[in-house]
Every structure is written in C-alpha cells, then in structure tokens.
Amino acid sequence: MRDLTPEVLLAAVNAWVEIESPTQDAAAVNRVASHAEGLLTAIGASIERIPGENGIGDILIGRVPGTANGPGILLLGHMDTVHPVGTLAGPLPMRVEGDRAYGPGIYDMKGGNAIAFSALAHLHATGRRPHLPVTVMMIPDEEIGSPFSRPTIEAEAKKHAIVLVVEPSGDFGRITIARHGIARYHLKTTGIPAHAGAYHAKGRSAIREMARQVLEIEAMTDYARNVTLNVGTIQGGTHENMVPLSCEAIVYCLVPLPHDEAEVRAKLLALKSYDPDVKLEVTSGLYRPSFVKSPAIQKLYDHAAALAREIGFEVKGERVAGGGSDGNFTGALGVPTLDGLGVLGDGPHTHQEYLLVSHLVPRTKLLVRLFETLDASFRAQR
C-alpha cells in the first residue's frame, strides 16, 4: 500500500466489514481472523493463532519487527461485532452516502483495524519499519467483555512498553486517555412456590423480593460521581397462576475509579432479602477495571497530538470513555495505553453505524507516524 488515498483505505475497510462476525459465531469470527492473518503474512509478520474455546473464535497475533529491539508496542483490536449475520443483507447494508460509509462494525471497530493494518502495510511497501517492534493482537470476544482473551491480553501487555488501541475515536476526533470500570453482578432470588389461587398465603414470591432489590440497587446510582447501576435484564416466574419460585437479574455498573468499584461491590454483596423466607444470592460477574491517565499516558497523548498537527489536523482533545475496551485491562496494569486511535464516525451497535471517509487518510498517517516515532522513552517510569 504505497499510496494512502481515501479510495484505497475504504476498500481496505470494506474487506473487513463484508465478513460479518458476531461474537457468538466462532466460524464467522475466524473468517475475519484468516483475513487478518493474510494481511499480516503479506507484510512479513510472524503469526501465532491461539485456538478459541467454548464457542469463541481464535486470537490472532502477528509480530512485526522494528528497527530497534523491544519491549515494543502492543496494538489491540477486536474482530467481533454485536451485529448478527444477516445485518449486511438487511438493516445495515454497506454503502457510502456523502462522507459517511455505513456497515456493521465499520466504526466499532473494523475501520480501526483496517487503518492500523494499512499503516503497517504502508511502512512495509515504502521500505520502512516501525521503530519499536509491533505486536498486532486481534481479539475475538471483546463485545462480551473478553472472557476468553483477557489472560492472553494481560500476559502480552506485560511484555510490551506501550499499548495502542484502535477502538473508535470518540466525539468526532478525541483520543481516549482513560476509561471507567464496568462491573456486572448476577442476582437470584428463590422463594416458596404455591398455587396463586388456592394457597397464595403459603407462597413467598421471588419476583416481589427481586422488585424490592431492583429499587434499592438502582437508588445506589450517583450521577454526580458518574456511578450508575442498571438492572438490565430480569427473568422470573413460570406461570401467572403460581407464586414464583425464582427470579434472576443482571446489574451493569459503571464504576469510574477503583474505590467506586470497591464501594459498589461492598454494597451489593451486603444486600439482604426483605422477606426472610426468600433467599437472595448476589455473585460478581465480568469486571473491566478502570484505567486512569498517568504521566506516561499524558506523554503519549501529547506526542500524538503533536504528530497530528504535523500531518495537518487537530485531535480534538482527551476523552474519558464510559464504555469499556480491552484497553481497560492493559491500562489497569500500568502499561501506558492510548485508546480511541481508530476511525471517526458514530452509531456504534446500531443500524446507523458509519465512519467518516474524509478522516481515513489523516488517521492512518497518525498511526504510521506513531509506529515510526514511539521509542523506549515512552515506557512507564517504574
């Protein structure tokens, strides 16, 4: 890829988008992994492919040598999307309207993967190399919290000096320098079943107990601190003519800082049932720790902003993102992590998902220059 033009880059993006890849469809995600493997092989990267488990696709790793020795840069992207197969032929066909290119996962985050790969292919085609070695790591299960990939991401992060994440750029151009933590909790109430007509008084309703818990949990939300608790799913009961035996719910908590997480955890695990005859169980689920801006992240951000100015654009500032990414894991480990280096656009996880074509070239050039200029001085001071 000698010349970086909007046409060439959009074609590179579309080659990813046309392979639909919902997280739960391992074969589909693996088709994306094979596409990525072909691209990395073509630029001389050495490939490792870690077979997926439990219905999750493979992790694909490509190692690109630098002109200097490591520890190098870990570049993270995910191959899965939230869109089921058929979205392309149905509600979200690939198309260009003005400056907007639409498609499932085009913004979150196949566009970002494509421009990162294009940046490396451009260096290769012009006889250049990244300064530090670059490890490209493509994740199959980010959209469900990376339960399979997390240990591998953390193990790789510890071997690298810097992590770059090509998740979408937020707010039309910002770079992500911190992300809030996300915690999930599972609730279950178990009551005493009874015929709701003849023996109502003998029953103890699991749903009524859960309803009281939901109100108590949602009241823990504190918008001033950006701590939010959302009971997002609830299921219970088997028949309207029965006092329900059981009810289950999942709480999704935004916890900006580690002490917020500790506080929410303590409160949720201390919940007691209102009705002593109904059993309440609270268990913690997937957790993405927050990552916060460190001096090393500030230095990375300032450097990226300066490179952007050299290229001829402004990055629009720092962003603290509410949603999680695999950058949470690496940032929480203290490895300097710069996130949101992907494409500009909007509508992630919706049928209006698009990227802005006019920003593909400048954003790809920014990645080219980051690969060329990041050196050992950007490591965290320990």
Q: How far is the CB of 94 from Zn ion (least distance, A)?
A: 18
Complex with Zn ion: residue 247 or 355, whichever CB lies closer: 355
Should residue 339 be labelled a site residue for Zn ion when binding is judged by CB under 5 A?
Answer: no
Residue nearest to Zn ion (CB): 108
Complex with Zn ion: residue 106 or 119, whichever CB lies closer: 106
Q: How far is the CB of 142 from Zn ion (least distance, A)?
A: 6
Should residue 109 be labelled a site residue for Zn ion when binding is judged by CB under 5 A?
Answer: yes
Q: Which of residues 130-169 bind Zn ion (CB under 5 A)?
A: 167
Residue 80 annotated to the active site: yes
- Catalytic member of 20, 37, 58, 80: 80
- Catalytic member of 108, 141, 142, 156: 142
Q: How far is the CB of 382 from Zn ion (least distance, A)?
A: 30
Three state DSSP letters for 191-223: CECEECCCCHHHCECHHHHHHHHHHHHHCCCEH
# chain residues binding Zn ion, by CB under 5 A: 3
Of 108-116, 173-181, 202-210, 261-269: span binding Zn ion (CB under 5 A): 108-116
Q: How far is the CB of 6 from Zn ion (least distance, A)?
A: 23
Complex with Zn ion: residue 178 or 243, whichever CB lies closer: 178
Should residue 341 be labelled a site residue for Zn ion when binding is judged by CB under 5 A?
Answer: no
Complex with Zn ion: residue 294 or 328, whichever CB lies closer: 328
Q: How far is the CB of 146 from Zn ion (least distance, A)?
A: 10
Residue 142 annotated to the active site: yes
By CB under 5 A, name the binding residues for Zn ion: 108-109, 167
Catalytic residues: 80, 142
